[in-house]
């Protein structure tokens, strides 16, 4: 915990008592009350040590470390491996920290994104994206072959299996392929009860250049939950469906050695169910207003915020220099979420209230006020809806270190969309 | 116009007759009917010459040039100068083309963004953003001084005037400052009837390091229009309010030499009113689904689209490899817009229907289908909601040249948020 009282520019230093992990887990979710009622202003305040050009993304090192340690501890306590999704931070320094703490490797969402981590020497990577053309992974497979990196992929169609198989054959390697199961998001994957699951699993198993890695799912529909209990139900249903499918596959002679699940809501908001062997959450490193809404995070857990400057006032709003090109227009993950684009507080604690970022232009945020707006030129701290979407806008972010100093953190895989 | 019939990979070559500028202007807006009814599928189809990794942004050079020429012709016909807003493309090559065609300079939205264009030798730049701290423009003023670039800024508060004045004084230069007028967007600016307009204009005029450049407004609320007539009304009201304010300022001895307006809806969807001396549209270079919705563009006018690959099918959607990290989550400019994130067509013309991009994850788009989805591995072309937001996600885009070849176009000012 930073010694916030020692920071001169925070006029009303909060002394929020940091609850233990278990205490936080047993709290009622904020979703049950209004955000402002549930979260006292002090919980949102932090020192702003560096007078940097705004807008910039601040990552609070202590909170980040606490989040990384917390998830690693949960994985270890449940006896599962942690393979964090790096689409959240796209940052080698953070990935290396995750590995130091015990993660077995990383998960990536596009071949070129995965390549950044492979080329940096990360020893094991899962590309959790449905590859359907061999040329998409040509460079990646070349790279993992020359480096000896462990690479897993996913498939949910014969086209996908053939594509990965062709790439593996072209490079003379064998690649691990998970069968992607759709457990309710309705995006990519075979439904657990679909007879095609066995057909595809056998197809992977039989392919001379592929190894059947197991079952993989993403319960992204948990972002639509209204209460914590719903998240638990989703996590349990996911694990049960995968276990039942694994049983059927094993009966048919297909070895299911791994069951990999992962979404921050289920990994943080529910117990890790029996039968799961690996978790792949990403957002937990930073957390955001969506995590607050879901009740899986307190304001004090959120390690990412955006510092902006008040540039104008009008009748209803004060205007900040962060718009959709910094905060993104995401309401939440997978299109979930409610109104507004984030919670704002005055950065120096001069205004004891939270404000809502109500509307965005490209480079302006419209922040609603009822009493007095923060003065023009003063700074605000914004807790955005979706941390992963914010980081993807920036080439680098600012790490506020334990000692209060600011350091630049490169977003190494930003812009790797292909 | 590209010879689309000559392109082998377009199975059903459309021979859409390209209407003249005036014919297009007199068409009923698409907003009056459904998009699919109003716009025949052929209008959305184009050849996809390059088998590049997806997703990528394609800029159609012929359509881009037609849009740039069209706006320049409109400005010239109305006797006003054109100073395009480069926040849309953030690209030096396109800015240079705009200047070659007759633009007097460019408009930028952040100091670091403006700096890219100043350092590349663009001779005149308006930074249409409310600067409130001198240090924000320190590097920019240093650069324009050493290069002899003409720089205009805007102010809407005493804080802003003092900040710009202090920067000008520190570098020993005089800077042109427009008074920013809020003509209805409710974002930044003094209301035309507000007595502070005269106070601030006099404050700029009196400052020893500032030159009062005139009045500047952005009718961004025109993006909320339902019919073309509404856009005309907004354009006329804007010009009338500015003319009336200019009259009052002149009466008080303040010289108003420039009246600068600019938003693509008013510049394309309405006549350029009397009294205006400069227009600053940006989006017109590319156009997008928002322009279609507003009725200021036909599908055939849109020069920007995103090429993506179908990676999965499920019951309701086919899934493409472009999500919010490529298409952005913008519904439209300034939070305008309706449902969905773009119109998709199969890239090779194999499916004679338009599809709606209904939902986005970070790297996946959910595209609704009713009949048959395009095959896994095939490509689709997406016309996104907001072209400016899409370009801001990419380090480079693909220019499809008149001869059909693809060239990389660098997005020079991407990520310049400060």
- Per cent of chain B over pLDDT 70 is 90
Q: Which of the residue ranges A31-40, A354-363, B6-15, B68-77 would you say has the lowest mean pLDDT?
A: B6-15
B351 and B271 inside one domain:
no
pLDDT of A397 higher than 50: yes
DSSP secondary structure, A300-352, as one string: GG--EEEEEEEEEE-SSEEEES--HHHH-S-SSGGG---SSSEEEEETTS-S-
Q: Which residues pair with A259 in a beta bridge?
A: A215
B2, B62 in Cβ contact below 8 A? yes
Question: Is A26 at the interface with chain B, CB within 8 A?
Answer: no
Query: Which two three-digit tokens encode residue B195?
Result: 């007595």
Taking CB atoms and an 8 Å cutoff, what residues of chain B touch A55?
417-418
A308 vs B contacts (CB less than 8 Å): none
* Together in a domain, B228 and B181: yes
Evaluate if residue A10 carries a pLDDT over 50. no
> Are residue B324 and residue B195 in the same domain, yes or no?
no
CB of B363 within 8 Å of any CB in chain A? yes
Confirm whether A362 is domain-assigned. yes
Mean pLDDT of A56-74: 98
Domains in chain A, number: 2
Question: Is B166 in the A-facing interface, judged by CB distances under 8 Å?
Answer: no
Model confidence band, residue A148 (pLDDT cutoffs 50, 70, 90) = very high
* Mean pLDDT on B118-139: 98
Tell me how close the Cα of B160 comes to any Cα of chain A, in angstroms. 8
CB contacts < 8 A, A to B, total 181
More confident: A143 or B19: A143
Name the 3-class secondary structure at B161: helix
A:69-108 residues touching chain B, CB 8 A cutoff: 87
Task: State the pLDDT at residue A125.
Answer: 98
Quick one: tokens of A113?
């994104």
CA distance B8 to A409: 47
Contact residues, chain A, for B418 at CB < 8 Å: 53-56
A309 and B160 within 8 Å at the Cβ level: the answer is no
Nearest-10 crossing angle of helices B92-100, B61-78:
40
Assess B201–A contact: CB distance below 8 Å, yes or no.
no
Gap from B315 CA to chain A (nearest CA, Å): 8
**Do A113 and A253 share a domain, yes or no?**
yes
Identify the H or E element spanning B306. strand B304-313
Contact A293, A226 (CB under 8 A): no
pLDDT of B6 over the 70 cut: no
Which tokens is A7 given?
Answer: 């920071």
Average of per-residue pLDDT across B383-406: 96
Tell me the CB-side half-sphere exposure of residue A130, using CA atoms within 13 A: 31
* pLDDT at res. A4: 26
* Residue that is last in its domain, among A260, A284, A308: A284
pLDDT band at B406 (very low <50, low <70, confident <90, very high): very high
- The residue among B257, B284, B311 that closes a domain is B284
Q: How confident is the model at residue A2 (pLDDT cuts 50, 70, 90)?
A: very low
Peptide linkage before A55 cis (omega within 30 of 0):
yes
Chain A residues in contact with B87 by the CB 8 A cut-off are: 362-363
A193 touches chain B (CB under 8 A): no
What residues 131-150 of chain B have any CB closer than 8 A to a CB of chain A?
A: 131-133, 135-136
Residue A11: predicted pLDDT:
37
Q: Is the pLDDT of residue A3 over 50?
A: no
Q: Are residues B168 and B277 in the same domain?
A: yes
Backbone angles phi, psi at A344, to 5 degrees: -120, 145
Categorize the per-residue pLDDT at A25 as very low, low, confident or very high, splitting at 50, 70 and 90.
very low
Do A323 and A392 fall within a single domain? yes
Q: Does A377 touch chain B (CB under 8 A)?
A: yes
**CB-based contact B188 A110, cutoff 8 Å:** no
Q: What is the mean pLDDT of chain A?
A: 90
Q: Residue A323 is part of which domain span?
A: 6-10+17-61+289-410
Q: Is B408 near chain A, with CB under 8 Å?
A: no
Tens of pLDDT, residue by residue over A400-414, are: 999 989 999 999 999
Residues A42, A5: contact at Cβ < 8 Å?
Answer: no
Q: Is A157 on the interface with B (CB under 8 A)?
A: yes
| DSSP reduced 3-state for A116 | helix
Residues of B in contact with A315 (CB under 8 A): 186
Which of 213-242 (B) contact A at CB < 8 A? 220
List, for residues A89-123, the tens digit of each pLDDT value: 999 999 999 999 999 999 999 999 999 999 999 99
Which CATH number belongs to the domain containing residue B344 in this structure? 2.40.37.20
Which pLDDT value is given to residue A35? 42
What is the per-residue pLDDT for A75?
A: 98
Q: Which of A333, A362, A387 to mutate to test the interface with B (most CBs of B within 10 A)?
A: A362
> Do B319 and B389 fall into the same domain?
yes
My answer on whether A155 and A215 are in the same domain is: yes
Write the CA distances from A326 to A38, A53, A55, A168, A396, integer angstroms. Answer: 27, 13, 7, 39, 12
Say yes or no to pLDDT of B300 above 80.
yes
Q: What is the ipTM of this complex?
A: 0.92
Whether residue A119 lies within 8 A of chain B, CB to CB, comes out as no
**Does A417 map to a domain?**
no
Name the pLDDT band for B277 (thresholds 50, 70, 90).
Answer: very high
Burial (CB < 10 A; 0-12, 13-18, 19+), residue B30, is: buried
Q: Are A1 and A62 in contact (CB under 8 A)?
A: yes
Q: Quick one: average pLDDT of A63-74?
A: 98
Q: Are A116 and B392 in contact (CB under 8 A)?
A: no
Residue B1 located in a structural domain: no
Name the CA radius of gyration of chain A, rounded. Answer: 22
Which of the four pLDDT bands, split at 50, 70 and 90, describes residue B80? very high
Selected residue of B51, B138, B362, B396 to mutate for chain A interface (largest A Cβ count, 10 A): B362
- Is A366 within 8 Å of B187 when comparing Cβ atoms? yes
Residue B70 lies in a domain: no
Residues A237-261 have pLDDT tens digits of 999 999 999 999 999 999 999 999 9
Cβ atoms of residues B260 and B214 within 8 Å: yes
User: B157 to chain A: which residues are within 8 Å by CB?
Assistant: 312-313, 376
**A60 shares contact with chain B (CB less than 8 Å):** no
Q: Nearest Cβ partner of A364 from B54, B112, B188?
A: B188
At residue B50, the pLDDT reads 66
Contact check, Cβ <8 Å, B156/A312? yes
Asked whether the beta carbons of residue A389 and residue B363 sit closer than 8 angstroms, the reply is no
- For residue B362, give the nearest of A159, A325, A388 by CB distance: A388
Element (H, E) at A231: helix A228-251
Residue B384 and residue B327 in contact, taking contact as beta carbons nearer than 8 Å: yes
Distance CA A377, CA B163 (A): 10
DSSP H helices, A79-187, are 92-100, 111-119, 138-147, 158-171
Residue B74 falls inside a structural domain: no
The answer to whether the Cβ–Cβ distance between A188 and B417 falls below 8 Å is no
Nearest residue of A to residue B135 by CA position? A53
> Which range (A134-138, B50-54, B307-311, B333-337) has the least confidence?
B333-337
Using pLDDT thresholds of 50, 70 and 90, give the confidence band for residue A351: confident
CA nearest A387 in B: which residue? Answer: B362
pLDDT grade for A5, boundaries at 50, 70 and 90: very low
Q: Given CB atoms, is B393 within the 8 Å cutoff of chain A?
A: yes
Residue B32 lies in a domain: yes
Nearest-neighbour CA in chain A from B409: distance (Å)? 15
| B75 is a domain residue | no
| pTM for this entry | 0.92
Q: How far is CA A104 from the centre of its chain?
A: 17
pLDDT band of residue A50 (cuts 50, 70, 90) is low
Residues A148 and A131 in one domain: yes
A324 contacts in chain B (CB < 8 Å): 328, 330, 389
Q: Which of A236, A385, A362, A237 is nearest to A306 (CA)?
A: A385
- Kindly state whether residue B415 falls inside one of the protein's structural domains: no
Let me know: does A220 contact A181? Beta carbons within 8 Å: no
Q: Check CB contact of B124 with chain A, cutoff 8 Å.
A: no
Residue pair B412/B118 in contact by the 8 Å Cβ criterion = no
Band of pLDDT at residue B101, cut at 50, 70 and 90: very high
The answer to whether residue A339 neighbours chain B at the CB level (below 8 Å) is no
B17, pLDDT greater than 70: no
Shortest Cα distance, chain B CAs vs residue A327, angstroms: 11
- From A284, A311, A340, give the residue that closes a domain: A284
Asked if B132 and B276 sit in the same domain, the reply is: yes
Does residue B104 sit in the same domain as residue B27?
no
Contacts of A160 (CB under 8 A, 6+ apart): A130, A131, A132, A154, B311, B376
Chain A nearest-CA distance from B23, in A, is: 32
- Kindly indicate the confidence band of residue A141, based on its pLDDT and cuts at 50, 70 and 90: very high
Compute the nearest-CA separation of B204 from chain A (Å).
17
Same-domain pairing of A238 and A313:
no
B188 at interface of A, judged by CB pairs closer than 8 A: yes
Per-residue burial over A388-418, b if 16 or more Cβ lie within 10 Å, else e, is: bbbbbbbebbbbbeeeeebeebebbbbbbbb
Using the 8-state DSSP alphabet, how is residue B138 labeled? Answer: H
Indicate which CATH number applies to the domain containing B132. Answer: 3.20.20.10
Q: Which residue of A has its CA nearest to B55?
A: A418
A401 closest CA partner among A53, A6, A65? A65
Range B345-355 average pLDDT: 88
Is B169 near chain A, with CB under 8 Å? no
Q: What does pLDDT average to over chain B?
A: 90
Question: Are the beta carbons of A174 and A210 closer than 8 angstroms?
Answer: yes
- Say if residue A185's pLDDT is above 70: yes
Lowest mean pLDDT among A248-252, B5-9, B119-123: B5-9
CA distance B37 to chain A (A): 28
A130 and B316 within 8 Å at the Cβ level: the answer is no
Who wins on pLDDT, B47 or B360?
A: B360
């Amino acid at each position: 915990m930073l010694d916030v009282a020692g920071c001169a520019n925070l006029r009303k230093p909060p002394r929020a008592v940091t609850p233990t992990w278990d205490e936080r887990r047993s709290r009622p979710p904020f979703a049950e009350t209004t955000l402002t009622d549930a979260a006292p202003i002090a919980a949102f305040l932090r020192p702003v040590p560096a007078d940097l050009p705004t807008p910039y993304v601040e990552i609070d090192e202590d909170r980040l470390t606490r989040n990384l340690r917390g998830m690693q501890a949960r994985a270890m306590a449940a006896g599962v491996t942690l393979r964090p999704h790096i689409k959240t931070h796209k940052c080698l320094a953070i990935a290396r920290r995750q590995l130091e703490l015990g993660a077995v490797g990383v998960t990536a969402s596009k071949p070129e994104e995965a390549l950044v981590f492979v080329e940096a020497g990360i020893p094991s990577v899962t590309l959790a994206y449905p590859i359907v053309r061999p040329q998409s992974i040509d460079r990646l497979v070349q790279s993992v072959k020359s480096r000896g990196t462990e690479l897993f992929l996913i498939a949910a169609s014969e086209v996908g299996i053939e594509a990965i198989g062709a790439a593996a054959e072209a490079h003379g390697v064998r690649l691990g392929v998970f069968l992607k199961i759709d457990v309710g998001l309705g995006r990519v994957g075979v439904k657990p009860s679909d007879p095609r699951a066995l057909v595809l699993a056998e197809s992977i198993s039989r392919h001379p250049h592929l190894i059947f890695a197991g079952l993989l799912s993403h319960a992204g529909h948990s972002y639509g939950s209204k209460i914590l209990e719903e998240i638990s139900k989703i996590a349990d249903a996911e694990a049960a469906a995968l276990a039942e499918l694994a049983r059927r596959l094993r009966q048919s002679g297909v070895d299911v050695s791994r069951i990999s699940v992962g979404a921050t809501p289920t990994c943080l908001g529910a117990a890790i169910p029996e039968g799961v062997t690996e978790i792949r959450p990403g957002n937990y490193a930073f957390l955001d207003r969506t995590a607050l809404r879901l009740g899986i995070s307190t304001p004090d857990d959120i390690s990412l915020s955006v510092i902006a400057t008040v540039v104008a006032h009008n009748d209803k709003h004060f205007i900040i220099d962060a718009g959709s090109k910094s905060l993104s227009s995401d309401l939440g993950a997978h299109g979930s979420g409610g109104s507004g684009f984030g919670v704002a507080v005055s950065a120096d604690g001069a205004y004891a209230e939270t404000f809502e970022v109500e509307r965005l232009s490209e480079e302006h945020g419209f922040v609603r006020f009822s009493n007095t707006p923060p003065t023009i030129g003063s700074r605000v701290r914004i807790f955005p809806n979706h941390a992963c979407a914010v980081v993807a806008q920036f080439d680098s972010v600012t790490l506020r270190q334990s000692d209060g100093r600011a350091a630049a953190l490169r977003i190494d895989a930003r812009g790797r969309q292909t």
